[in-house]
Chain A
Amino acid sequence: MVRDITIGQYFPGNSVLHNADPRLKLVLSFVAIIFIFVCNNFYSLALVALFSVVAVLSSKISLKIILKGLRPMLILLIFTSALQLFYNKQGEVLFTSRYLTITTGGIYTTIFMVIRIICLVLVSSLLTYTTSPTQLTDGIERLLSPLKVFGLKNGVHTLAMMMTIALRFIPTLIDEIDKITSAQKARGANLETGGIVKRAKALLPIFIPLLVNSFRHAFELSLAMSARCYNGGEGRTRMKQLKLQTRDYILMFSMLIFVGGVIALNIIFESVI
């Protein structure tokens, strides 16, 4: 069902990554993603893979959840490897027939792409797995706060608040979809059979109440917020002040070593793709 999606979910825990400063995590995942693309030979790729594995292990998130998150990528992986394997004509020819030619270059790039995509998904999903939505938006707001200089005084805060609210309501709405679907099914709504037009029409009894309920939630929330004197970001203080700590500097330092390693290996060894 809808609730089986794990990408973008948060799994509370107590680990190096969970406790790290969200601003730092945002920046570091961004840097890591760039360097996953920067690496261009198997030695630096090995370092990237090692880095990803260490990152996953240090998050203390169960492997089951990690693998579940990778599952939706399977089709993409198979598709790209098939394309690379059969259409890359570089390097020595290993096998050839009327339709297919497999070359060493093809095999290299296939392996490269697969490992790269897996690392990419692992590292980027770790960000949301280990950071609560509130922390995440808080981090984004802080990172974007220099934009205030350009006259976007309240904009950054509003944007962050909107993101927080949107993320907060995803589980609520999923719950509601489930409930409304059951209720309409109980009145004999048929959602499984019929052509595309018929099926699209059958979704109306679900979407209309969902939309109406979203508006109701929005009104109630805005009322609740103004009842607590919310009036935008100006002069607003925080209960949790973000401050970089020793552990954050250690994390930053390890990242520097990783980045330096990838660059060094890229220079020392020849590029294969």
Chain B
Amino acid sequence: MRLFSSATRLLPAALALLFVVAIFHIGFGAKAIALGDIWQAIWAFDDRNFDHVVIRQMRLPRLLAAMTVGASLSVAGALMQGVTRNPLADPGLLGLLSGASFGVVVGAAVLGIDSDSLIPVFAVLGALAAALLVAAISFFAPGANSRAMLLLAGAAVSLFLAANVSALNLLNEEGFASFRVWLSGAITTDAAKMLPWCLPWCVIGLAVALFSARQVTALSMGHKTATGLGVDTKKLSLRLLFCVVSLTAASVALVGPLGFVGLVVPHATRLVVGSDYRHVIPFSALFGAIFLLIVDLVARTVLSPVEISTGVVTSLLGAPLFLVLIRRVL
């Protein structure tokens, strides 16, 4: 089913929706701030005014982080679903979120790396190792390359890495305290600190994804068809692996592992724009950004003045949607 006949006609509407949601994200929070102050905070920032600090140094970094992570995870999920031709593929179910988390925990908590610039690198290494492990298991195990085997391999690797993270937690509970909120997937104001180091990975990943969109459409029709259409599937797969790993790892380094975004948003996008990845990828990025902005707004305001973790909200929204998808797909 496709709701819009022309995706290009939808683009201005999607951008306008993103703009409106971003305005709401900036305008609403646990602290009520007058519209005039919001305007001043943006155009005439005064660091002695706490309302200005809330807008510029707390809500704005969260806005950027939510948009970056929402777009990145959604595009990563869309690519994975296209390449594997598995509608249930996403960075969480295939072990990349756990791999990136494990990489960050090993780097920061075990090796004591405290340089912000190196955190995404450890996340990339962890996600890459997890992706290769899942690919190897699903390739060599009995029933190789089946949808179920890929998901089972992803689940096994995810559980294995999560167990390792738990073991590290038990070995050093105190040192681990600072990771607990992050491991639940939380967009916080201190995303500003990591944003400069994570944003380049995301921008490059998104650019490569957009550049490869036409070939992904061919690949989503099967390797033989793609080869027949002149696509070098091996090169493309490697490029997309880099793309998915960098998008996922940078997102994890920024806000921790956020589940369901990469699964639900691409499906919703396909419902709206069809299965041409020249449309799926840019619209997944847009809808992912919108989705996570709404999620973060809910997390910040629904129990105000208490904040709940963004990961809790994505799971609450994503789990039922995931069940609906399973019913449709399996």
> Do the two chains bind?
no
> Chain B: residues with CB nearer than 8 A to chain A?
none
List residues of chain A with CB under 8 Å of any chain B CB.
none
